[in-house]
């Protein structure tokens, strides 16, 4: 997620944080919660797009 010059990269397979540039702990927890809530849909879209 990129917003206002801040960036976070979350690995979908195990929901670990690969990069966090500028998000505080509360914001990162919100991002992680949203990612966890939609993990399956994100993985399906990724696999559909890349043919995995």
User: So what's the pLDDT on residue 17?
Assistant: 97
What are the phi and psi torsion angles at 28 (to 5°)? Answer: -65, -40
Where does the pLDDT of residue 51 fall: very low under 50, low under 70, confident under 90, or very high at 90 and above? confident
pTM: 0.82
Number of domains in the chain: 1
- Domain span holding position 41: 2-50
Q: For 26-38, what is the mean pLDDT?
A: 97
Higher model confidence: residue 42 or residue 1?
Answer: 42
Please provide the DSSP assignment of 1-52 as one string.
Answer: -EETTEEEEEETTTTEEEEEES--HHHHHHHHHHHHHTHHHHHHHHHHHHT-
């Amino acid at each position: 997620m990129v917003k206002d010059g801040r960036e976070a990269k979350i690995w979908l397979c195990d929901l670990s944080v690969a990069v966090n540039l500028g998000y505080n702990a509360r914001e990162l927890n919100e991002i992680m919660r949203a990612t966890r809530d939609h993990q399956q849909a994100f993985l399906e879209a990724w696999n559909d797009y890349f043919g995995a």
